[in-house]
Amino acid sequence: MAQDVVKKRASRAAKDQENGKQWSWAAFGRYIAVIVVVFIALAPLYWTFITSVKDGTEINAYPPTLFPHHWNFNNYIDAFTKSDFFLPTLRNSVIIAVVTTVVSLLFGILCAYALGRTKFYGKGAMLAIVLSVNMFPFIAIVGPLYILFTNGLYIYNTYAALIVPNIVATLPLTIWFLTSFFRDLPSDLEEAARIDGASRLQALWHVIVPLTAPGVFAAAILSFIAVWNDFLFGLTLTSSTAAQPVTVGITFFNSEHQTSYGMLAAAAIVVTIPLVILVLFLQRRIVSGLTAGAVKG
Amino acid sequence: MAVKEAKVEKSASPGLMDRIRMNGGFLPYILILPTLLLILVIAVYPMLDSIRLSMLHNPFAARPKFVGLQNYITVFQDPVFRQAMGTTMIYTVLSVALESIFGLLIALLINKSFPGRGLVRAAILVPWAFPTIVSAQMWFLMYGDQTGILTYILRSLHLLAEGDTLLNSVPGVITASVITDVWKTTPFMALLLLAGLQVIPADLYEAASVDGATRWQQFTRITLPMLKNPFLIALLFRLLDAIRVFDLFYVFGKQMVPSLASFANIRMFGSNTEFSQGVATSILIFIIGIIISIIFGSMLRSMLKEQG
């Protein structure tokens, strides 16, 4: 395997050198294509941003202006101060996403350890159950969950109403991903810890988790993004700003009761900025997390 | 390929003794218990319960009446449901087909290393990371009547009449949803295919070019066949996701042009007496998903057999 990689690198480097020596149409075409792709990927973000800094008259100007004539940040201030839902729902989303990610990671680590590093009867069945959850259309469970939460568990319109289903939604990916990481770890380190008298759980916590920290971290980012982005559970299992997530809150800027495109755009920028930062700094980890399941197969 | 071989070696050599020593005991069961309980209560139970609910007239009544498959029949006779079904199918086929083509092109584009490649990868990841509902709002601003840059461009090209917007007609809403979804999900497709491209051994291409194969022959004889597996997996993920599309039609279609999932939501949380019709619709989505999974599962299995 190592040889393969070295060879691949060598041949790639040789090709790069060739390409570097002479200006070629292929390289030129590649850069044009790259520019087009990046432009399309970022254009809506640009449009939303300039909409958010335009004032009320310029937003409705026709034809639309590509560069704002007057910059102002009133839409941001208004979104936070003049609406009674944006700040509370934003706060709800942060709490829900953080708590869900932590609990999902904890359950996921325990389950992935059992699946990846121990042998037990029913392991195949457990893997199948975990993976099949991924295929559930969540629209099919929100109805029964609504009834369960309003009549049985009485957690409708609380943080728990969103944390619990979101844990279930993020667990399959977390477990799938961590299992492959744990399984690939050589067993001597864990054995050494066991010989020194550590229990299995101590070995898991003090040896395995630190050694697979990049994988655990990638799983955490992916579940945070998934929970932050949830809309369906938020729409159906909560009913007031006491628990609604910001994905629901943001739709209030564009509803029958109120339409404010400037504030809508400002809110969209605020909600997506944490994600843009995560992506820019951690793209390698995110990509490895996204593709782990599919390639390793 | 190389990755797989290495993994087999690892788990085989120190595995056996170690496994036997570690085997047994209740620990594994205790470790999976929290996950298992949660999945049973929050996913499996509601899924089974939804089958029961879909056969009741009004589950909120004091004594709900059992009506068998009546809700399914009502739903199938509902013109709004039929339209939602058609909308969802057209949307699914178009968006997944376009994402596959663009995804493959982008994967090929960033497969070679060039300065700024990491930046490109980060840029295309940005749309993927956004909440769908927020992406939908962003595109809503661009599709809008006064605020919309796209509306302006389409009118200038005479693709839209003056005063008309994309979100005014059924085909328009489907087009808007497909565009937004392609924008948002092509990166996912591209990254999965890119990962598949990067495990194709370089020797294959070297051998082929020594034998005098052209670039195009290398692409059709090596690249495409080697990509089949990751491609099928990506396709399965995307199809399952597309048939349950909700957020985009919630924003673009409102009540007028629903998808299957947003139709289910409208029925479920509109009035008590129609709740079960919504549940029945969502079970139909589940069944379509199962059919797709079975088809792709058998395709993947037969391909793994071929490869040995």
pLDDT recorded at residue B220 = 85
* pLDDT tens-digit profile, chain B (308 residues): 444 444 444 444 545 545 545 555 788 888 999 999 999 999 999 999 999 999 988 888 888 888 888 999 999 999 999 999 999 999 999 999 999 999 999 998 888 877 778 888 888 888 888 899 999 999 998 898 777 888 888 888 888 887 788 888 899 999 999 999 999 999 889 988 888 888 888 888 888 888 888 888 888 888 888 888 888 888 988 999 999 999 999 999 888 899 999 999 999 988 888 899 999 999 999 999 999 999 988 888 887 777 65
How much is the pLDDT for A101?
96
Give the tokens for residue B52. 């029961």
pTM: 0.86
Contact criterion met (CB < 8 Å) for B129 and A183: no
By C-alpha distance, which of A122, A97, A127, A124 is closest to A111? Answer: A127
In chain A, ranges of CATH 1.10.3720.10 domains: 84-259+268-296
Contacts of A42 (CB under 8 A, 6+ apart): B123, B126
The amino acid at residue B256 is M
**Alpha-carbon span B160 to B35, nearest angstrom:** 52
What is the per-residue pLDDT across B240-260, written as a single tens digit (0 to 9) for each? 999 999 999 999 988 889 999
Q: What is the Cα–Cα distance from A59 to A48, expressed in whole angstroms?
A: 11
Alpha carbons within 13 angstroms on the beta-carbon side of residue B270 total 14
| Dihedral (CA of A259, A264, A266, A267) sign | positive
ipTM at complex level: 0.84
Q: Which residues in chain A (3-22) have CB-CB distances under 8 A to chain B? A: 4-5, 7-8, 11-12, 15-16
**Nearest CA to CA, how far is A117 from chain B (Å)?**
8
Closest approach of B43 to chain A, Cα-based (Å):
7
Q: Using the beta-carbon criterion (under 8 Å), do A130 and B39 form an inter-chain contact?
A: yes
Query: pLDDT at position A5, please?
Result: 52
Are B275 and A143 within 8 A, CB to CB?
yes
User: From CA B97, how far away is CA A181, in angstroms rounded?
Assistant: 33
Q: Which of A38, A136, A231 sits opposite B131 (nearest CB)?
A: A231
Q: Are A137 and B285 in contact, with CB atoms under 8 Å apart?
A: yes
E strand or H helix that includes residue B197: helix B170-198
Token reading at A133: 């959850």
Tell me how far apart the alpha carbons of residues B248 and B133 are, in angstroms, rounded to a whole number.
7
Which of A 123-142 lie inside 8 A of B, CB atoms?
A: 123, 126, 129-130, 133, 135-142
Using CA atoms, how far apart are residues B232 and B296, in angstroms rounded to an integer? 7
Residues facing A259 on adjacent strands: A254
- Going by the DSSP 8-state scheme, the letter that residue B113 receives in this structure is -
Residue with structure tokens 């706060």?
A91
DSSP class of residue A185?
A: S
On whether any CB of chain A is under 8 Å from the CB of B132, the answer is: yes
- The verdict on a CB contact (< 8 Å) between B34 and A295 is no
Q: Do A291 and B290 touch (CB under 8 A)?
A: no
Q: Which domains does chain B have, with CATH numbers?
A: 55-60+68-307 (1.10.3720.10)
CATH architecture group of domain A84-259+268-296: Orthogonal Bundle (1.10)
Contacts of B47 in chain A (CB under 8 A): 136, 140-141, 144
Residue of A nearest to B53 (CA): A144
Q: Hey, how many other C-beta atoms are within 10 angstroms of the C-beta on B234?
A: 26
| Residue B73 tokens, joined | 């029949």
By the 8 A CB rule, do A76 and A52 touch? Answer: yes
